[in-house]
A and B are shown apart, each in its own frame.
Chain A
């Protein structure tokens, strides 16, 4: 279990009756999360700076290479960029540009984020691609 190698003590949070998130902090803002599915005993890969999890459709939104992406929680990670209408503000860490995020439909995310040099707050609903 890779998270066990971290110096910080990971926390375990149930995300529903069958799903657990194991999360370790590596700074602020900096975290690593893995997911465990009790029924199938599957363990996911590690995800950096997770901002949203949809347990029912098995999707996770997280930060990768300075961008927000989403991917299936289990199996081979297929990171798809989350396309916002306006560019995210140039924040020190990409997750700092996210004010809030929530699934509003099974395959849509309501994202409130900061954009531009004045850190203007923008809200929009983003549909996830059907391929994921």
Chain B
């Protein structure tokens, strides 16, 4: 297989435009907290180098602001991108990519198909506590569903991941973007359980603490975040609490109908999603089930 990038990217690198674009594309989708995201233009400036450094601080032993064609940083970056993309290459937002960069994107997809996230999952799990996006995910799931079942925890997390780059959420490139912008009230309203979990995760850093429920949630959500297990929701992008819906239905049956809350019905949303997934697979040259 051809090298993913021909030359080094970043501080002191050759910084060929196609190589830089691939790195920028991956840095925007590796779970890194980048407030405004990187502009994917193939030009390597201070922001791109800064993002490489930030990524290396979290995941690599050497922090030099550079990514080499066969280096450890590139390998880690590929693993993180595949994990962040739900272990599902179909969620790559092909439609939003300029035709200029499509050959690079196709090359990247080929590479990602060969990355084994399961092999990396056990090794990375210990480091996830230091990952700002993972902490945000755990705190938000705790805020949304602390007292629900473990399956409910996973479902909420999968809904977050499944939205990345899809349908009306196309412009959001990471789980962090989704949590902050697409209606997760536990985070936006900072409810009690969310604040409890956020504080707990900050105080304990990379170490395990004494809150058994949060510790169990970290354990349950780690493979979800890394994309190393099958999606229990089958690709869901919405969730609602049946108990809350039932209670609201009693107060105002017209405003809160019993059961589904989706405009056009769940069937319409599902059909639209399946159609888009088929289109994306065709454009990526991927077959169903190729990812994961």
Contacts and interface: CB of A to CB of B under 8 A. Distances in A.
A29 interface: yes
Nearest to A94: B263
B167 A119 contact: yes
A8 B263 contact: no
Contacts of B170: 119
| Listed residue (B159, B170, B183, B254) with the most chain A CB atoms within 10 angstroms of its CB | B183
Contacts of A89: 168
B244 A92 contact: no
Main secondary structure of the interface of A (DSSP, over half): mixed
A97 interface: yes
A25 B262 CA distance: 16
Contact of A90 (B144, B241, B251, B263): B263
Nearest to A5: B247
Interface in A21-49: 23-32, 45-46, 48
A32 B185 CA distance: 11
B238 interface: yes
Contacts of A24: 244
A88 to B, nearest CB: 9
A86 to B, nearest CB: 15
Given A46-B251, A114-B168, A92 B185 contact: no
A66 interface: yes
B263 A93 contact: yes
Size class of the A contact interface (CB-based, 8 Å): 35 or more
Given A28-B144, A90-B264, A2 B240 contact: no
Contact of A27 (B167, B189, B244, B252): B244
B238 A29 contact: yes
A48 B144 contact: no
Interface residues of B, number: 41
A69 B262 CA distance: 17
B243 A31 contact: no
B275 to A, nearest CB: 10
Interface string B158-198: 01000000011110000000000011111001111100000
A36 B156 CA distance: 31
B241 A7 contact: yes
Given A9-B193, A90-B272, A119-B168, A25 B261 contact: no
Contacts of B250: 5
21 contacts: A6-B243, A25-B191, A26-B244, A26-B245, A27-B239, A27-B245, A28-B185, A29-B238, A30-B183, A30-B244, A30-B261, A31-B185, A32-B244, A46-B255, A89-B168, A90-B264, A91-B263, A92-B238, A92-B264, A92-B269, A93-B238
Given A13-B189, A25-B241, 20 more contacts: A6-B247, A7-B247, A9-B191, A11-B191, A26-B241, A26-B245, A26-B248, A27-B238, A29-B182, A29-B238, A30-B183, A31-B185, A32-B248, A46-B251, A66-B263, A91-B168, A92-B238, A93-B238, A97-B168, A119-B168
Interface of A: 2, 5-9, 11, 13, 23-32, 45-46, 48, 64-66, 89-97, 114, 118-119
The list of the 5 closest CB pairs from A to B, nearest first, reads A27-B240, A29-B183, A26-B244, A25-B185, A66-B263
